[in-house]
């Protein structure tokens, strides 16, 4: 199921479960391109804020599963994309920044 189809699901619980499944698949593939695509979709207006916050929380926490260079690339991209809505995603941005700082320290 693609992200546009998931966005059209009316049941919030089913929608979140479908997004989580896609996110797990993308992290399993370690596809930087697909991770960026997922992030792009999450920050659009078509995804409810309550849904995007929850999924971006999982996204932020899962970044550390990626190899260091991919983690850095996706984290920097994420911070850039979320910047325009940073007030809505303060906790998620904080997690991404902290983990990115740890990578740079290592």
**pLDDT tens readout for residues 48-85:** 999 999 999 999 999 999 999 999 999 999 999 998 88
pLDDT score for 106: 82
Q: Mean pLDDT of all residues in the chain? A: 93
What's the average model confidence in pLDDT over 81-100?
A: 90
Cα-Cα end-to-end distance for the chain:
38
What's the average model confidence in pLDDT over 24-52?
A: 93
What's the average model confidence in pLDDT over 19-32?
A: 94
Q: Is a pLDDT exceeding 90 seen at residue 87?
A: no
Q: Is a pLDDT exceeding 90 seen at residue 22?
A: yes
CB count in 10 Å sphere of residue 56? 25
pTM of the model as a whole: 0.89
pLDDT score for 1: 67
Handedness of CA 66, 97, 36, 4 (dihedral sign): positive
């Amino acid at each position: 199921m693609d992200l546009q189809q998931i966005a059209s699901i009316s049941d919030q619980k089913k929608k979140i479960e479908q997004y989580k499944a896609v996110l797990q698949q993308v992290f399993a593939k370690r596809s930087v391109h697909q991770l960026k695509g997922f992030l792009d979709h999450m920050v659009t207006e078509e995804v409810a804020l309550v849904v995007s916050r929850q999924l971006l929380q999982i996204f932020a926490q899962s970044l550390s599963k990626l190899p260091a260079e991919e983690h850095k690339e996706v984290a920097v991209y994420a911070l850039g994309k979320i910047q325009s809505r940073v007030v809505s995603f303060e906790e998620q941005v904080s997690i991404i920044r902290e983990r990115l700082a740890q990578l740079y320290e290592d």
